[in-house]
Chain A
Amino acid sequence: EVQELLESGGGLVQPGGSLRLSCAASGFTFSSYAMTWVRQAPGKGLEWVSSIDNSGGYRFFADPVKGRFAISRDNSQSILFLQMNSLRDEDTAVYYCAKIGIQNSNPDYWGQGTLVTVSS
């Protein structure tokens, strides 16, 4: 079965606002894999944002988003979430969700990304 990750929830939001991203997974046993969010500002490089283990018990965040973003998952629905609060201009980016491989310990399957634009 073909693996698929489909992000949604991106859009335009004012500074200080909130947005919730979703990533719907299919084609693999979602509850067996850690997941991660990686972002890419327009014309810039990749930046890791957050990761969560397969059960949701362990969550990790990059310093620039710590205290503002929350990661969670619903294994019954095979959905990953990223709750983004107190958004800043510098959070403007394409946000990718990715599955972390068990053998390779790295994001080995990625969604196509959803664009978040923070602007007044």
Chain B
Amino acid sequence: DIQMTQSPSTLSASVGDRVIITCRASQSIGSGLAWYQQKPGKAPKLLIYKASSLESGVPLRFSGSGSGTEFTLTISSLQPDDFATYYCQYYSIVSRTFGQGTKVEIK
């Protein structure tokens, strides 16, 4: 089974900071990676799919990159609405695996 590992687990940042979250797959997954944002008590929201494609309606400050086993989610200038937990997710036709999450906190 493919395992997804995110780092860091928690990140403290200020409004306006550039934030980078890393996700590593236990084996090559090509570009089969998505990123989600989740706020407390709410359902997750899809941000990025196919490693770097921005979902419709998602602000341009969010971007994704990587392929194979190493992926990143970048928030170019952190906004107050961005304090949340972020999950990467491997996907294929038959399976999906989430990373453990990265909580972005106010510094």
Contacts and interface: CB of A to CB of B under 8 A. Distances in A.
Interface of A: 36, 38, 45-48, 51, 60, 62-63, 96, 98, 101, 104-108, 110-113
A100 to B, nearest CB: 9
Interface string B73-107: 00000000000000101010111111111000000
A106 B43 CA distance: 14
A48 B31 CA distance: 19
- Residue with the highest number of chain A CB atoms closer than 10 Å, among B43, B45, B46, B99: B43
B25 interface: no
Given A63-B1, A96-B43, A111-B43, A106 B91 contact: yes
Nearest to A47: B98
A47 B99 CA distance: 9
A45 B43 contact: no
A105 B49 CA distance: 8
Given A63-B1, A113-B43, A108 B55 contact: yes
Nearest to B46: A108
B50 A104 contact: yes
Nearest to A96: B43
Contacts of B87: 45-46
B30 interface: no
B46 A104 contact: yes
B94 A60 contact: yes
B96 A36 contact: yes
6 contacts: A48-B97, A63-B1, A96-B44, A108-B46, A108-B55, A113-B43
Given A107-B44, A113-B43, 17 more contacts: A45-B100, A47-B98, A48-B89, A48-B96, A48-B98, A51-B96, A60-B95, A63-B1, A101-B49, A104-B53, A106-B34, A106-B49, A106-B89, A108-B46, A110-B44, A111-B43, A112-B43
Interface string B21-53: 000000000000010101000111110011001
A62 B2 CA distance: 12
